[in-house]
A = this chain, B = another copy of it.
Amino acid sequence: MAYSVPSLENLIDKFASLPGVGRKTAARLAYWVLSLDKKEAYDFAKAITDASDSIHQCPVCHNLTDDETCAVCSSEARDRSTICVVESPRDVTAIEKTREYKGLYHVIHGLISPLDNIGAEQLYIKDLVVRAAGDEVKEVIMATNPTVEGETTAVYISKLIKPLGVRVTRLAYGMPVGGNLEYADEITLFRALEGRSEL
Contacts and interface: CB of A to CB of B under 8 A. Distances in A.
Interface in A147-165: none
19 contacts: A2-B99, A3-B92, A5-B55, A5-B65, A5-B71, A7-B50, A7-B54, A10-B50, A11-B48, A14-B47, A18-B29, A19-B29, A19-B32, A27-B93, A33-B48, A33-B52, A36-B52, A41-B48, A45-B49
A75 B1 contact: yes
Interface in A1-56: 1-8, 10-11, 13-14, 18-20, 25, 27-34, 36, 38, 41-55
Number of copies: 2
Interface residues of A, number: 57
If over half of A's interface residues share one DSSP class (helix, strand or loop), that class is named, otherwise mixed; here it is helix
A64 interface: yes
A50 B28 CA distance: 17
A77 interface: yes
Interface in A43-101: 43-55, 63-66, 70-72, 75, 77, 88-90, 92-93, 96, 99
A158 to B, nearest CB: 25
A177 to B, nearest CB: 18
Contacts of A19: 28-29, 32
